[in-house]
Amino acid sequence: MENKKAVGTYKDLEIYQLSHQLGVDIHKFSFSLPKFEFYETGGQIRRASKSVSANIVEGYGRRRYKAEFIRFLIYSHSSCNETIEWVEYVRDCHEEFKIPSDEFLQRLNKLGAKINRFIRAVEKSHKVPK
């Protein structure tokens, strides 16, 4: 049986840790985009990828209210999907450009699945913090 550690802050959530690191990695990657893509596509992919963890943080701050918590987790999942779309745009529009799209897409898809499972767990057994 797995020993489950109680969550103390949002930083203890696996979905936060994964999404934050992925946001950092995508942010750093975006600076290697061609100059003409830096502001448009680069800005979009940076905002979308950072929004995943930012919505987890905001939702965690509202966790006393189950519907609010779930709403922000859904926003987080939506931002994860948006990031997938931007990574696919970069991959498909710049075949000559070496983007680690397979790695990013694999990590984003795993993260999306984990966020979905977390949403379901909150829906089933959410307890109001004291």
Residue 79 counted as domain residue:
yes
CA 116 – CA 130 distance, rounded (Å):
25
For 22-66, the pLDDT digits (tens) are 999 999 999 988 888 889 999 999 999 999 999 999 999 999 999
For 107-119, the pLDDT digits (tens) are 999 999 999 999 9
Q: What is the pLDDT of residue 58?
A: 97
- CATH number of the domain at 26, please: 1.20.1440.60
Residue 23 counted as domain residue:
yes
Range of the domain at 62: 10-125
Report the domain count for the chain.
Answer: 1
* pLDDT, the chain, mean: 90
Residue 3 counted as domain residue:
no
For 63-79, the pLDDT digits (tens) are 999 999 999 999 999 99
Who's near 91: CB < 8 A, 6+ residues apart? 99, 101
Residue 35 counted as domain residue:
yes
CA 90 – CA 32 distance, rounded (Å):
12
Residue 14 counted as domain residue:
yes
